[in-house]
Amino acid sequence: MPITLTEKNDGQILEVRASQKLTHADYQQFAATFEAMLKRHPKLRVLFEMIDFHGWEPAVMWDDIKFDLKHFSHIERLAMVGDRAWEKGMSVFTRPFTGAQVRYFDRAAIAQAETWLAS
């Protein structure tokens, strides 16, 4: 399964574990879960963990642009966790498209990412 979604901290944190290649259906699942959580909290925190991640289908780029425009200020913190240089680079690329504080963590530091999101 390319995506796993888990709500934490009474629905204020959404943990996204992505592997393989994300599809439009995966992104729709993420967006629907995010929208449902947003009804309970004005701002969310997101952990995006990349495990053997191979990017996304072209349609997902458009999905992400629309999502970013709609939810620019709805993410308070975004922790990106991975183990490849391009994944770290993606955390820098993401910053102009969100009002969130964005931090990258190596996989070995995932506990620190979780602590940062919960604090």
Residue pLDDT, tens place only, 56-89: 999 998 998 899 889 999 999 999 999 999 899 9
What is the pTM assigned to this prediction? 0.93
For residue 1, pLDDT beyond 80 = no
Q: Mean pLDDT throughout 15-42?
A: 95
Share of the chain above pLDDT 70, in %: 99
Residue pLDDT, tens place only, 93-107: 889 889 999 999 999
Tell me the C-alpha distance between 90 and 105, whole Å.
Answer: 12
> CA torsion 77→29→64→57, rounded to 10°?
130
What's the mean per-residue pLDDT of the chain? 94
Helix axes of 58-70 and 24-38: crossing angle, nearest 10 degrees? 20
Q: Mean pLDDT throughout 7-30?
A: 95
Domain boundaries defined on the chain: 3-118
Classified by CATH at the fold level, domain 3-118 comes out as Transcription Regulator spoIIAA (3.30.750)
For residue 22, pLDDT beyond 80 = yes
For residue 46, pLDDT beyond 90 = yes
Distances 84 to 10, 51, 91, 105 between C-alpha atoms, Å: 31, 10, 11, 11
